[in-house]
Amino acid sequence: MIDDWAAREQIVTAADRLFYGRGVQAVGMDAVRAQAGVSLKRIYALFPSKDDLVVAVLHHRSRRWDAGLAAATATVESPRDKLLAVFDFLADWFVEEDFRGCAFINSFGELGALSPQVAAAAREQKASFQGYVAALVRAAGAPESLAPQLAILAEGAQTTAAIAGTPDAARQARDAAATLIEAALAPARTPA
């Protein structure tokens, strides 16, 4: 038998793929069991309810997102380039064949009104992302107000790419971000 840690991993990974691909409510726990290869009894021993599993999946995705973002921004040096690398990270993601938008946005729309835990998980992930962007903005020496603007661009790119079914939004958002960054830094370069 596999240990609890590996079982959790398999269950969460399987549930993530299914929930993300079809939506949470469209996936029964039996489908999770089949995909994970773990008995229902075991699943319920590790996750007391489907809602708990959903929250675990979101936390798992949040960690993966953080790691991917850190890796993407680690490839360049300057804070300005790191900010733009965020949009390159999105571009790479949008072309993946199973891309279906942001799981947090999707889950929030589907379950946010029903599950406070899901709503909180989405809120935390977005706040974390905004904090990450804000740190890069500070490092770049740009005014704080730039951070939410860039975060909004990233969010919009995700939904736009998902619904349109094309990755164009990543480049468009990147171009807009470059313009906003330049404008934010310009006054500092040429003070009155």
Partner DNA sequence: TAAGATAGAGAACGATGGTTCTCAACGCAA
Partner DNA sequence: TTGCGTTGAGAACCATCGTTCTCTATCTTA
Q: Using CB under 8 A as the criterion, which residues of the chain lie in contact with a second copy when the complex forms?
A: 21-23, 25-26, 100-102, 104-114, 119, 122-123, 126-127, 145, 148-149, 151-160, 162-165, 168-169, 172-173, 175-176, 179-180, 182-183
**Shortest separation between residue 107's beta carbon and a second copy, angstroms:** 8
Of DNA, a second copy, none, which one sits near residue 109, judging by CB under 5 to 8 A according to partner kind? a second copy
Residue closest to 137 by CA, chosen among 116, 158, 152: 152
Q: How far is the CB of 7 from a second copy (least distance, A)?
A: 27
What 16-19 contacts at long range (C-beta under 8 Å, 24+ apart), as own/partner pairs, is 16/57, 16/60, 16/61, 16/103, 19/54, 19/57, 19/103, 19/107
Q: Which is nearer to DNA, 32 or 184 (CB)?
A: 32
For residue 154, the partner it binds in DNA, a second copy, none, with Cβ less than 5 to 8 A by kind, is a second copy
Q: State in angstroms the smallest separation of the CB of 3 from DNA.
A: 10
Tell me which of a second copy, DNA, none is bound by residue 162, counting a contact when its beta carbon lies within the kind-specific cut-off of 5 to 8 angstroms. a second copy
Residue ranges that bind DNA, judged by CB under 7 A: 1-2, 25-30, 37-42, 44, 48-51
Tokens 């809602």 correspond to: 51
The option from DNA, a second copy, none interacting with 42 (CB < 5 to 8 A, set by class) reads: DNA
Q: What's the min distance (Å) between Cβ of 74 and a second copy?
A: 25
Tell whether the torsion through CA atoms of 166, 86, 130 and 137 is positive or negative: negative
Contact 112, 119 (CB under 8 A): yes
* The two three-digit tokens of residue 70, written as one number: 């850190």
Nearer to a second copy among residue 62 and residue 107 (C-beta): 107
Q: Quick one: three-class SS letters along 62-113?
A: HHHHHHHHHHHHHCCCCHHHHHHHHHHHHHHHHCCCCCCCCHHHHHHHHHCC
